[in-house]
Amino acid sequence: MSALLSARGLEFGPREAPVLRDVSLHVDPGEIVTLVGPNGSGKSTLLRLMIGALSPRRGKVTRTRGLRIGYVPQSLVLDASLPITVRRFLDLPLRVDDDAAEAALAQSGAGGLAGRQMAALSGGQFQRVLLARAVLNRPQLLILDEPTQGLDQPGQAAFYRRIAALRSEMGCAVLMVSHELHVVMSASDRVVCLNGHICCEGTPEVVSAAPAYRELFGTGTGGQLALYRHEHDHAHEGGGAAHHHHHPHAEG
């Protein structure tokens, strides 16, 4: 299977104080890849290199021909004195027909919000509308940069469950940055832990047990991850065929 998007040997930032060193990453069709890492570890920079908004000092990013990307920003500041409905917002920058708008809103959990003012939406509703705009052009790859900032924990969990559902419906791949480790890791196929370079990567279980990850984030989230994953499996598998029982070590 060839990757939708891949990067090889990326270097970015001043030679004497690089932001990113020797970073290689790929996203295959249909998979959910999550970037985690401390503040300032280069996560947003890497996303911007991957979409071509920045150029690396060394290395190369390759996109499959005609790749359709849907992008959900961290947040978006709208001028509250400039009224705009959700429906009109979806027409920016390109006008879309009503059926497509309605379908994208419904798919993103924002059905029924079309006539509402953007400025009057709650944080969670606003993020779902941003998601609707990102899915309008049937992306093969959704890219999300900390899309749940400002949402409470149930709101975050619901948002990431929606991302997983969208992936199943549309068959798109997802590349996202998140700080909500225990929530987001359970919804990922592969986690990449970044700290200027790639410290470790693999399935959520492998990464959360890796010494490099534990050094950066401690062991606190391991237990929560196991718990969440357990509940998650119950919700989706029902019959109990795929229980994951983890017993993370408590020591640091």
Ligand X SMILES: Nc1ncnc2c1ncn2[C@@H]1O[C@H](COP(=O)(O)OP(=O)(O)OP(=O)(O)O)[C@@H](O)[C@H]1O
Contact positions toward ligand X, by CB under 6 A? Answer: 13, 19, 37, 39-45
Secondary structure tally for the chain: helices H, strands E: 9, 9
Cα distance between residue 220 and residue 75, in whole Å: 28
Nearest distance in Å: CB 11, ligand X: 12
Cis amide prior to 56 (ω within 30 degrees): no
Question: Residues of 220-240 as b/e, b for ≥16 C-beta within 10 angstroms?
Answer: ebbbbbbebbeebbeeeeeee
Nearer to ligand X, 42 or 222 (CB): 42
Residue holding tokens 């994953």? 229
Nearest distance in Å: CB 39, ligand X: 4
Nearer to ligand X, 42 or 204 (CB): 42
At position 94, the amino acid (one-letter code) is L
Nearest distance in Å: CB 63, ligand X: 20
Nearer to ligand X, 13 or 220 (CB): 13
Does the CA dihedral 125-126-127-128 come out positive or negative? positive
Tokens of 213: 């990850």
Nearer to ligand X, 37 or 222 (CB): 37
Q: If you ran DSSP here, which 8-state letter would residue 138 be given?
A: -
Nearer to ligand X, 54 or 210 (CB): 54
Nearest distance in Å: CB 44, ligand X: 3
Cα distance between residue 233 and residue 179, in whole Å: 22
Nearer to ligand X, 23 or 174 (CB): 23
CB atoms < 10 A from the CB of 115, how many? 9
CB contact at 8 A, 28 and 1? yes
Nearest distance in Å: CB 83, ligand X: 31
Nearest distance in Å: CB 223, ligand X: 23
